[in-house]
Structure 1
Amino acid sequence: MLFFSFAPFFALIAADDFTQDNRSDSSFVDKAGAIENAIQLSRKIHQESHDDELEYAEAEKALNLSLELGDSLLYAKSLDNMGLLYRYHQRYSEATALHAKAYELIAEVDSAFLSKMIFANNAGVSSRYGEDFDNAVFYYLEALKIAEAQEDLRNIAISCNGLGNTLLHIPGREEDALRYFERSLDAERERGNTLGIAMNYLSIGDYFTEKGDYKRGRTYLDKLLEINQKRNDDYGLGITYEYFGHNYIKEGLALGQAADYYKKSLAIFSRLNDTHKQADLLKALADVYRLNNQYDLAIDYYHRTWNLAINIPNKSLIQASAAQLSSIYELQAKPSLALKYYKISDQYKDSVNLINQETEIAAIEKRYALEKKESQIALLEKDKSLQQVQLDSHVEALKSQRIILVLLLMFLVAIAVIALMQFKNIKSKKMANLMLMRQNRQISEQKNQIESVNEQLEATFKELMTEQKNNEEKRVKLLESKFENRIQNLALQSLESQMNPHFLFNGMNAVRWLVMKNKNAEAKEYIDTFAQLLRLSLTNNRKNSICLAEELKATELYLKIEKLRFDGGFNFEIAISPEVNPHHVKVPPKILQPLVENAIKHGLLPSRKREKVLDIKVFEQNEVLVIEVLDNGVGYKQPSNKKEASNIYGTHLGLKLIEERLAIYNQQSHNRVDFDIQARQDSDKGIIGTKAKISIMMEEAIDSVG
């Protein structure tokens, strides 16, 4: 009894020990140090050996360790570090996404002011390099706002300089750019930072050069030259001479001066063994000689650029040099050489485009892998939290059991004492006989009670058997209902599997066509939109129903893709009535896409009308939600037989799939969804297009009203 009384106490101690945080401080410090080391090593590899594979491997190691550790700030630093590596390799859109994510992770952390400024400024830089100027302005302003609140002159100067360089590229904002440059310059002067002052002299000088005020631009370049000479900064002097060359070549009055400055800069970067800058300057000198009609010198420098670019390698520079050589040989009436270098230029142009596409695909794959790993870590953390809750509940239960057992022990001790006292009071035979008689009576009464209990048990047993039989019948009916639902779900999935290959085939053909037509920007936009639609489709296909807003979003993405695919051959508009809230209306997934696909393919594209329009209207009519898909194409004619159906409006595969999907959905849902398609007619009964109509009748008042 004593053992059972104290056993819960020992169990409680063990449970308390188990709830201790297994992660010691030293373990956390070790892992954090490993993350910082991986970040620094990735940057060192980039600076010293430029081994892309090794530096990315170290950066990913830091990401994986920070995810395992579950520390938001270290994870944000790892994301920012990977973004820097992407930016160094001119993968600006990927870099921007990582810097932005790093900033958002710690945006609400009050103490991480410096990290927030760094991440926001890095997002601004990568956006500016990627020519996403609106995004760059947003992140630079975020960094500036934090820097002003902290009175951090260094980051005020960095943010203002970045804003100035960004606003230079936005028409009408040049004066604002100059004001930010001057503010950055004032901050650097207050700090006494000569490097920051030099950078702003360079930015302001370049501003006046771009504006066409070449003399004023050279005034700031003279100041920049003086400060770099005082600092004895060879790299800064090389940049200064380079920008003097840019100033003179854009002015176009002293090309010899431009060539002299480029040669000075080239000599410095040759001494510094900076092959990338050497290649840029050789190309600049070649351009000077070409503009000055010194074609032999231009050809020599383009070839020198070519040779250096091959060793770097820099395919864009090779392609540009080949294109200029082709144009010079054409001017010199050397068609064979002109054709040779034109083909080389075209070949490298295709190669550069292919590399860019491969880079985009690799980025999508890496982003998917990272998101998958984040979701796995989140699930693990959720499981750990659930286990902790269960453990806490177990501990509380053990505490309660211990209290109950202690009370039971006290009760048993009391009974024992009473029994002992009772035993001492029995002293005489008379009392013993009376007790015997009493016991006999008790036995008789107990026998009667047992018989009564047996009767009650028999009745209870019969009731239980009846109840069990009823439960078995209910269970069979439930299984039959689940089996029918399963059959319907399988049928719905079968229908989905017929639609997806058709959708993917059209998408891939469109990308292939855009690439063959060398429309790379449209191809990139197509792939981005296609990826969004594919991700949304994969998510929605797992559901029996989705909200109307999600279906309209997927349809809008599909229409954007088709518009890109057919080179803007039609316009579209989605109009939602104000009394309808699409987030509160449930519909089967992918009921609109086949309708708009048929409208485009069989209605708009065959039409000879100059203005082709597709409209989607959502409104309420007599407590029925109506979705109409309207086009002004060749029109729909109700077929009288299968052969006519094939000739008039395609095979109607999409329409058949919709009818089958809605039949299954109506069996599973309380809502009633009907579908109808017919020709649109004008006042003279002439066919002006096609109208497809979906009606959703709710069992109760539609949630979206109001």
Structure 2
Amino acid sequence: MKKLIIITFLFSVALSCFSQEEEISIDSLIQQAIEKKIDDYYDLYRFFKRERFNKQDIDFLLKESQQKEYRLGEVYAYNLLGRHYRNNSFFDSSIENYMKALELSREIEDVNAEIVTLNQIGVVYRRQDKIRNALNYHQMALELADKIDIPDIDTKISISISNNSIGNIYLALKQYQLALEKFKKAILIQEKTEDKRGLAINHQNMGLAFQNLGDIDAALEHYNKSLQYNIENNSSIGKVICHNSISNVLLLQGKYDEAYKYISEVLPISEKIGNQYYTSDVYITFGNVQLKLDSLDKAKTYLEKGLEVANKHKIPSGINQSNLYLSELYEKKKDYEKAYSFYKKAIEGERKTFNDKNILYVNNLINKYDNEVSRNKIKNLAKENEIAKLKLLRNRNVLIIALVSIALLGVLLYSMYRQRLLNNDKKILMLEQEALRIQMNPHFVFNALNSIKLYVINNEQKNAVYYLNKFSKLIRSILESSSVKEVTLSEELKTMNLYMSIENIRLSNEVNYIENIDSNVNIERIKVPPLILQPFLENSIWHGLSSKKGKKEVSLSVTKISDEFIQIDIVDNGIGRDAAMKIRKNKSLNRRSIGIDLTKERLRNFANEYANNYSLIYTDIIDEEGNPKGTKVSLKIPIL
């Protein structure tokens, strides 16, 4: 027993000495950096990379750097303080320290320190959903980095951080394709620089973009890649984020038990880390899992926890999400008054945030040019002051010249702005004209008239007159559509009926065309771009059915899936996309298909005027034996 006590005592002493030695070694490391006066920000970062600074260590670094007038050390210390407060969701204090770092980095003209600090400020604003400020700071960082003629690895990593952050902003704006482009650019840099932490972050972000686009399989693939990188990096916070995302995808798939397993693993880890932004997310997801498992009391506890944290630290996305789930919870409890109250809060919060973001997105480019004009004016004024000091006698003339110059500059900028607007209008007009030209391609007109001529030759007058009448109506409808931006869904369906009738002549009337319109859809009030469905019907006929033997059928159905969307499904029982592709490759003369890319561009222009975006999904239909038996095109169009 005495031996055990002695061993325990010696172990405690040794542990105490080790702790003191470790503490002294961190202080000593700080003193070494200050004595060496490391003059490159990235070199200073690598010097401290393995050290985990607590608040006391950071304060010591700042104090010593100030006393020894080591300005780069001050910048590094303020950035560490900014990260410390950000990780604990004290965003105002975080911004305050980052701003001090930014001012100092500009004062000592350290571009690398300035780029890093600008990116960090952008991250803090993005955490608070202050998208305008976040975008401005990340763009400033990107512009500074782009000005470096030969960027080194550190600068490339900063560029990837900027691209990743701007991609996150596009995510918040629901511009998912733009977000994916930014994330892919960041990943290319990170793969070359073997930046596993950056790869983990960007695969996580790509997963979120694909999830919002409805591609769940791609989302899970990227989430799992991110999780693997985080495991390799031994990143607890990364594991928390990935498990939270995977749980949300499993909830969408209805796999509630698996979702519970994933989120419950990281709940204690999240609480231990203390990052309130992600802790709020985990509480909300855990509450949602319990809600789906009908464990309402637990769900209520964790959703209220998530809401409390989000409110305390001003996290709008967390507030909106927890209010939405609490609405669902009280609906299950049949307390409809509370359910309505929480739902109203969620919708109002989301609408306010989204509207603010949309306004920013629309005006972003204009703001960018406004900032450039402001900088030019400041430069001009500085030059004017210098001229005025040197040539006081000519002050009046200089002032007149300056005013005229500014006026001319204003006229020039206004002319450039007007020219940009005209070019944009011209692009839209050319797009619509190209769409019309493709619908009216010579092959279609020639073949349709040939088919009608065959009826005349065979003395089938009724059929000739019948189809000639339909052909003339179709041509008139197409020409009328070329002069308008939108038509009613009713007019579009009539035009498609005429088109299918004409195309069917060339297939000896073998195709059975069916329309199914949901009674809840008011086709006289819903607007769509003219001739938007024609390319999909043409693909169904020429790629799906033209090579098929036996019964041929195309169905077009319109359903109202929510107050904000309708869905148009075009289904054929053709040979499937893979078989059609093989046939096209084997043909010596490939028939030029109607431009689906052009149709997507027209849909994007159309959806820009709505609060929601469109979506287009192709589905291969297979039988029980795995053989293709057709193709389904699902087009979701916003109506609010």
Q: Which bracket does the TM-score occupy, shorter chain normalised? A: 0.3 to 0.5
Report the TM-score, using the length of structure 1 for normalisation: 0.39
Larger Rg, first or second structure (1 or 2): 1
Report the TM-score, using the length of structure 2 for normalisation: 0.43
